[in-house]
A and B are shown apart, each in its own frame.
Chain A
Amino acid sequence: MSESDIVKDFLVESYENLDRLDRELVDLEKNPEDREALGSVFRTIHTIKGTCGFLGFNKLEAVAHVGENLLTRLRDRQLTLTPEITTALLTMVDAVRQMLSQIEKAGQEGERDDSVLIATLTRLQQSPAAQVSATDTTAPKPAAPAPAAVAPAPVSTTEVADMLPNMPLNIGDILEQRAGVTAAAVQLAVMQQKEGDPRRLGEILVEHGAVRPADIVDALRIQQAARAAAAPASDSTIRVDVGLLDKVMNLVGELVLARNQVLQFANRMKDTSFIAASQRLNLITTELQAGVMKTRMQPIGNIWGQFPRTVRDVALGCGKEVKIEMEGKETELDKTIIEAIKDPLTHLVRNSVDHGIELPEARVKAGKDRAGRLILRAFHEGGQVNIEIGDDGAGLNAERIRKKAIERALITAEQAPRMSEREIFNLIFLPGFSTAEKVTNVSGRGVGMDVVKTNVEKIGGTVDIHSTLGQGTTVRVKIPLTLAIIPALIVTCSGERYAIPQVSLLELVRLKAEEVSKGIELVHGAPVYRLRGRLLPLVYLNRELKLVADDHPPRQKDAAVNIVVLQADERQFGLVVDQINDTEEIVVKPLRKQLKTVKIFAGSSIMGDGRVALILDVLGLAQYAGVVTQTRDRAVTEKATGAEAAEVVKQTFLLFAGAGDSRMAIPLSTLARLEEFPVAQVEMSGRQWVTQYRGKILPLIRISVVMEERRNKLRTLQAPPPLDSGPIQVLVLNHDGRSVGLVVERILDIVEDRADVRSAATRAAVLYSVVIGNRVTELLDIPAILRTADLSASQAAPATQSAEFAN
Chain B
Amino acid sequence: MAHTSQFCTFYLDKLLFGVELKGVQEVIRSLEMTRVPLAPAVVSGLINLRGQIVTAVDLRRRLELQPSPQGTLAMNVVVRSEDGAVSLLVDEIGDVVEVEETTFEPPPETLRGSARSMILGVHKLNDRLLHVLDIEKACQMVDAAATE
Q: Which A residues lie at the B interface, using CB under 8 A?
A: 253-254, 257-258, 496, 545-547, 589, 592-595, 597-598, 600-601, 604-606, 610-614
Q: Which residues of B contact A254 (CB under 8 A)?
A: 51
Q: Which residues of A contact B95 (CB under 8 A)?
A: none
- Taken together as a complex, chains A and B put the C-alpha atoms of A254 and B139 apart, in Å, by 26
Is B35 interfacial (CB 8 A cutoff)?
yes
Q: Are B37 and A547 in contact (CB under 8 A)?
A: yes
Q: Are B34 and A611 in contact (CB under 8 A)?
A: yes
- A511: shortest Cβ distance to chain B, in Å? 24
Is B83 interfacial (CB 8 A cutoff)?
yes
Q: Which residues of A contact B37 (CB under 8 A)?
A: 545-547, 600
- Known A604-B46, A612-B46; contact A595-B51, beta-carbon cutoff 8 A: no
Is B9 interfacial (CB 8 A cutoff)?
no
- B22: shortest Cβ distance to chain A, in Å? 21
- B143: shortest Cβ distance to chain A, in Å? 11
Name which residue of chain B comes closest to A541, CB basis.
B37
Is B55 interfacial (CB 8 A cutoff)?
yes
Q: Are B34 and A592 in contact (CB under 8 A)?
A: no
Q: Which residues of B contact A605 (CB under 8 A)?
A: 53
Is B145 interfacial (CB 8 A cutoff)?
yes
- Taken together as a complex, chains A and B put the C-alpha atoms of A589 and B55 apart, in Å, by 12
- Taken together as a complex, chains A and B put the C-alpha atoms of A484 and B36 apart, in Å, by 22
- B67: shortest Cβ distance to chain A, in Å? 18
Q: Which residues of A contact B139 (CB under 8 A)?
A: 594
Q: Which of A594, A598, A611 contacts B83 (CB 8 A)?
A: A594
* Residue of A545, A598, A613 contacting most chain B CB atoms (<10 Å): A598
- A543: shortest Cβ distance to chain B, in Å? 11
- B54: shortest Cβ distance to chain A, in Å? 8
Is B2 interfacial (CB 8 A cutoff)?
no
Q: Which of A253, A589, A598 contacts B36 (CB 8 A)?
A: A598
Q: Which residues of A contact B47 (CB under 8 A)?
A: 612
Name which residue of chain A comes closest to B37, CB basis.
A545
Q: Are A611 and B43 in contact (CB under 8 A)?
A: no
Interface string of B27-38 (1 = CB under 8 A from A): 000001111111
Q: Which residues of B contact A592 (CB under 8 A)?
A: 55, 83-84, 86
Interface string of B121-148 (1 = CB under 8 A from A): 0000000000000000001111001000
Q: Which of B33, B48, B141 contacts A595 (CB 8 A)?
A: B141
Is B39 interfacial (CB 8 A cutoff)?
yes
Q: Which of A593, A598, A611 contacts B39 (CB 8 A)?
A: A598
- A600: shortest Cβ distance to chain B, in Å? 6
Q: Which residues of B contact A610 (CB under 8 A)?
A: 32, 48
Q: Which residues of A contact B145 (CB under 8 A)?
A: 597
- Known A594-B43, A597-B145; contact A611-B55, beta-carbon cutoff 8 A: no
- Taken together as a complex, chains A and B put the C-alpha atoms of A605 and B53 apart, in Å, by 8
Q: Are A595 and B53 in contact (CB under 8 A)?
A: no
Interface string of B67-110 (1 = CB under 8 A from A): 00000000000000001101000000000000000000000000
Within 8 A of A (CB), among B47-73: 47-48, 51, 53, 55, 57
Q: Which residues of B contact A547 (CB under 8 A)?
A: 37
Name which residue of chain B comes closest to A597, CB basis.
B145
Q: Are A611 and B51 in contact (CB under 8 A)?
A: no
Name which residue of chain B comes closest to A605, CB basis.
B53
- B147: shortest Cβ distance to chain A, in Å? 13
- Taken together as a complex, chains A and B put the C-alpha atoms of A598 and B148 apart, in Å, by 14
* Residue of B53, B84, B86, B140 contacting most chain A CB atoms (<10 Å): B53
Q: Are B48 and A601 in contact (CB under 8 A)?
A: no
Overall SS of chain A's interface = mixed
Q: Are A595 and B34 in contact (CB under 8 A)?
A: no
- Taken together as a complex, chains A and B put the C-alpha atoms of A613 and B32 apart, in Å, by 12
- Taken together as a complex, chains A and B put the C-alpha atoms of A628 and B37 apart, in Å, by 20
Q: Are A595 and B35 in contact (CB under 8 A)?
A: no
Q: Which residues of B contact A545 (CB under 8 A)?
A: 37-38
Name which residue of chain B comes closest to A600, CB basis.
B38
Q: Name 5 extra pairs, CB < 8 A, besides A592-B84, A595-B36, A595-B55.
A: A257-B51, A547-B37, A593-B141, A598-B39, A614-B36
Q: Are A606 and B51 in contact (CB under 8 A)?
A: yes
List 23 interface pairs A-B (beta carbons < 8 Å), by A numbering: A257-B51, A496-B35, A545-B38, A589-B53, A592-B55, A593-B141, A594-B40, A594-B43, A594-B57, A594-B86, A595-B36, A595-B39, A595-B141, A597-B40, A597-B142, A598-B38, A604-B53, A605-B53, A611-B48, A612-B34, A612-B46, A612-B47, A614-B36
Q: Which residues of B contact A593 (CB under 8 A)?
A: 83, 141
- Taken together as a complex, chains A and B put the C-alpha atoms of A298 and B125 apart, in Å, by 60
* Residue of A604, A605, A612, A613 contacting most chain B CB atoms (<10 Å): A612
Q: Which residues of A contact B48 (CB under 8 A)?
A: 606, 610-612
Q: Are A612 and B83 in contact (CB under 8 A)?
A: no
Q: Are B46 and A546 in contact (CB under 8 A)?
A: no
- A760: shortest Cβ distance to chain B, in Å? 56
- Taken together as a complex, chains A and B put the C-alpha atoms of A547 and B35 apart, in Å, by 10
- B39: shortest Cβ distance to chain A, in Å? 5
Name which residue of chain A comes closest to B32, CB basis.
A611
- Taken together as a complex, chains A and B put the C-alpha atoms of A600 and B38 apart, in Å, by 8
- A649: shortest Cβ distance to chain B, in Å? 42
Interface string of B11-46 (1 = CB under 8 A from A): 000000000000000000000111111111001011
* Residue of B34, B45, B145 contacting most chain A CB atoms (<10 Å): B34
- Taken together as a complex, chains A and B put the C-alpha atoms of A655 and B34 apart, in Å, by 40
Q: Which residues of B contact A612 (CB under 8 A)?
A: 33-34, 45-48, 53
- Known A595-B43, A595-B55; contact A601-B36, beta-carbon cutoff 8 A: yes
- B5: shortest Cβ distance to chain A, in Å? 27
Q: Which residues of A contact B55 (CB under 8 A)?
A: 592, 594-595
- Taken together as a complex, chains A and B put the C-alpha atoms of A604 and B49 apart, in Å, by 13
- Taken together as a complex, chains A and B put the C-alpha atoms of A254 and B36 apart, in Å, by 22
- Taken together as a complex, chains A and B put the C-alpha atoms of A589 and B84 apart, in Å, by 13
- Taken together as a complex, chains A and B put the C-alpha atoms of A605 and B48 apart, in Å, by 9
Q: Which residues of A contact B141 (CB under 8 A)?
A: 593-595, 597
- Taken together as a complex, chains A and B put the C-alpha atoms of A613 and B48 apart, in Å, by 10
- A607: shortest Cβ distance to chain B, in Å? 9
- B61: shortest Cβ distance to chain A, in Å? 13
- Taken together as a complex, chains A and B put the C-alpha atoms of A604 and B40 apart, in Å, by 17
- B85: shortest Cβ distance to chain A, in Å? 9
- A392: shortest Cβ distance to chain B, in Å? 49
- Known A595-B55, A604-B46; contact A614-B38, beta-carbon cutoff 8 A: no
What 9 pairs between A and B have smallest CB-CB spacing? A545-B37, A594-B141, A612-B34, A612-B46, A593-B83, A254-B51, A589-B53, A604-B53, A592-B55
- Taken together as a complex, chains A and B put the C-alpha atoms of A610 and B35 apart, in Å, by 15
Q: Which residues of A contact B140 (CB under 8 A)?
A: 594
Name which residue of chain A comes closest to B146, CB basis.
A597
- Taken together as a complex, chains A and B put the C-alpha atoms of A427 and B12 apart, in Å, by 56
- Taken together as a complex, chains A and B put the C-alpha atoms of A257 and B33 apart, in Å, by 17
- A239: shortest Cβ distance to chain B, in Å? 28
- A43: shortest Cβ distance to chain B, in Å? 47
Q: Are A613 and B83 in contact (CB under 8 A)?
A: no
Q: Which residues of A contact B33 (CB under 8 A)?
A: 612
- Taken together as a complex, chains A and B put the C-alpha atoms of A547 and B39 apart, in Å, by 12
* Residue of B32, B43, B46, B47 contacting most chain A CB atoms (<10 Å): B46
- Taken together as a complex, chains A and B put the C-alpha atoms of A612 and B40 apart, in Å, by 18
- B100: shortest Cβ distance to chain A, in Å? 34
- Taken together as a complex, chains A and B put the C-alpha atoms of A112 and B10 apart, in Å, by 58
- A714: shortest Cβ distance to chain B, in Å? 55
Q: Which residues of A contact B36 (CB under 8 A)?
A: 595, 598, 601, 614
Q: Are A496 and B34 in contact (CB under 8 A)?
A: yes
Q: Are B34 and A614 in contact (CB under 8 A)?
A: yes
- Taken together as a complex, chains A and B put the C-alpha atoms of A610 and B53 apart, in Å, by 11
Name which residue of chain B comes closest to A610, CB basis.
B48
- A319: shortest Cβ distance to chain B, in Å? 51
Q: Which residues of B contact A611 (CB under 8 A)?
A: 32, 34, 48
Name which residue of chain B comes closest to A594, CB basis.
B141
- Taken together as a complex, chains A and B put the C-alpha atoms of A547 and B32 apart, in Å, by 18
- B41: shortest Cβ distance to chain A, in Å? 11
Q: Are B38 and A546 in contact (CB under 8 A)?
A: yes
- Taken together as a complex, chains A and B put the C-alpha atoms of A415 and B21 apart, in Å, by 63
- A372: shortest Cβ distance to chain B, in Å? 48
